[in-house]
């Protein structure tokens, strides 16, 4: 199929939900993608924080291929060694004793919501979940309800009840919403879709302390920020807090669909037999991939990528000298460059693409950088030089 035919088929047959870029990807190698015309791009999107090992990582690819030959999928009615090996490793690495394996971020979050409800139902209580404005937790009805997007709420109402929200990073508002009906707080440490918006250290520490003092569960959506993205295995470590529940997906199996809900022993044993489940969740293929990812991370990639993430932060700092760059923020290999409304981020993105760099546009007119954790200093230098070149040309205009 040529590109025109590819686009035509998509336009005719895919449900019209994606505003796709004018780019058709054929293959990946290292930290680069190639389009169908053979053009090469250094990838600072990584399938939205998913392909943390880049493309065709030798150990990962070999592990996945071997597992496909051996066993891909059996029902969760049976045990598999690979699933047990993996959850033991993940529990050891995370300090969370109880794990449920799903297939996506939304599903991991659904599991967390059900777990929270079950936890309180076991005590004869019914509690509300408090989420942040600007949050993104997924696209199922419940995760959409927890997501701070009013427009989508109107489209898909009636929504499940039992959720309410507080103003992002506003501790006074948070405190006022933490009424006795609230059983759990559910948030991202850095709001990804909203334009890489981190909660302040003060907010996080105070919110966490207040929840702990009142017996309110603290849950962190680490779907985007987890698995080394911010320079630690999980972003909550950056704040020195210890949630009761976290959720993972995106990078957890580096491109094979997988999600996970992790909880403390006390919370994670609230479910009763038959309360929750999944056909595909934690199947042999996904567990083998995730097991390889965790080995590679703990075997050195986590540490080396933390250094590269610092480097990226330092290299981007000078961009604030351009008057149309409003803010540069983020942690590790998760960075946002917010542009003034006069320069649409989409235009900036396409100029970078012309220069061989793929970046992503997130909320608040922000260029979002989420490269593979294997990204090199040279590749970062190249991106920053391209950004500077575009900025210099923009100043003249």
191/166 Cα distance (integer angstroms):
14
Q: In terms of DSSP bridges, do strands 334-339 and 325-331 run parallel, antiparallel, or are they unpaired?
A: antiparallel
Q: Which residues contact 319 (CB under 8 A, 6 or more apart)?
A: 325, 328, 337, 387, 388, 391
List interacting residues with ligand PLP (CB under 6 A). 104-106, 109, 136-138, 188, 192, 221, 223-224, 249-250
Chain residue at closest Cβ approach to ligand PLP? 105
Smallest distance, ligand PLP to C-beta of residue 224, A? 3
Smallest distance, ligand PLP to C-beta of residue 73, A? 19
The nearer residue to ligand PLP, 362 or 387, going by C-beta atoms, is 362
Smallest distance, ligand PLP to C-beta of residue 249, A? 5
Q: Considering only CA atoms, which of 376, 342, 334 is closest in space to residue 359?
A: 334
The nearer residue to ligand PLP, 31 or 224, going by C-beta atoms, is 224
Tell me the CA distances in angstroms from 368 to 46, 60, 181, 243, one per residue in order. Answer: 11, 26, 36, 26
The nearer residue to ligand PLP, 109 or 283, going by C-beta atoms, is 109
Give the sheet arrangement for strand 325-331, strand by strand: 325-331, 334-339, 366-369, 360-362
Name 217's bridge partners.
Answer: 184
The nearer residue to ligand PLP, 117 or 137, going by C-beta atoms, is 137
Smallest distance, ligand PLP to C-beta of residue 40, A? 27
Q: Which residue has the tokens 């149309």?
A: 324
Smallest distance, ligand PLP to C-beta of residue 222, A? 8
CB atoms within 10 A of CB 319: 16
Backbone torsions φ then ψ of 89, nearest 5 degrees: -65, -45
The nearer residue to ligand PLP, 177 or 229, going by C-beta atoms, is 229
The nearer residue to ligand PLP, 146 or 391, going by C-beta atoms, is 146
Smallest distance, ligand PLP to C-beta of residue 221, A? 5
């Amino acid at each position: 199929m040529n590109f025109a035919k590819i686009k035509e088929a998509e336009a005719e047959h895919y449900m019209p939900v994606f505003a796709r870029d004018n780019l058709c990807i054929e293959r990946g190698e290292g930290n680069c993608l190639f389009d169908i015309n053979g053009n090469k791009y250094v990838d600072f999107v990584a399938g939205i924080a998913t392909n943390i090992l880049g493309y065709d990582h030798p150990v990962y690819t070999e592990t996945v291929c071997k597992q496909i030959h051996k066993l891909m999928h059996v029902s969760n009615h049976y045990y598999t060694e690979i699933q047990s090996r993996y959850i033991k490793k993940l529990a050891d690495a995370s300090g969370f004793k109880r794990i449920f394996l799903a297939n996506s971020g939304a599903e991991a979050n659904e599991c967390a919501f059900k777990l929270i409800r079950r936890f309180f139902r076991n005590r004869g209580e019914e509690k509300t979940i408090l989420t942040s404005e600007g949050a993104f937790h997924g696209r199922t009805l419940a995760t959409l309800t927890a997501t701070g997007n009013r427009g989508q709420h109107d489209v898909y109402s009636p929504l499940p009840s039992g959720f309410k929200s507080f103003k992002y990073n506003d501790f006074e508002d948070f405190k006022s919403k933490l009424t006795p009906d609230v059983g759990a707080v559910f948030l991202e440490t850095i709001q990804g879709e909203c334009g890489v918006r981190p909660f302040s250290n003060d907010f996080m520490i105070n919110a966490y302390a207040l929840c702990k003092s009142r017996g309110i569960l603290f849950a962190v959506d680490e779907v985007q920020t987890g698995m080394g993205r911010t320079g630690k295995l999980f972003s909550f470590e950056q704040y020195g807090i210890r949630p009761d529940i976290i959720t993972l997906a995106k990078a957890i199996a580096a491109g094979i669909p997988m999600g996970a809900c992790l909880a403390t022993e006390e919370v994670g044993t609230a479910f009763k037999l038959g309360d929750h489940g999944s056909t595909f969740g934690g199947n042999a293929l996904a567990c083998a991939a995730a097991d390889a990812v965790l080995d590679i991370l703990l075997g050195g990639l986590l540490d080396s990528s933390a250094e590269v993430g610092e480097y990226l932060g330092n290299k981007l700092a000078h961009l604030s000298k351009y008057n149309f760059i409003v803010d540069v923020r983020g942690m590790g290999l998760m960075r946002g460059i917010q542009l003034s409304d006069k320069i649409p981020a989409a235009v900036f993105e396409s100029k970078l693409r012309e220069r061989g760099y793929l970046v992503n546009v997130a909320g608040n007119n922000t260029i979002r950088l989420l490269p593979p954790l294997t990204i090199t200093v040279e590749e970062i230098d190249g991106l920053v030089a391209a950004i500077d070149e575009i900025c210099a040309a923009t100043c003249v205009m």
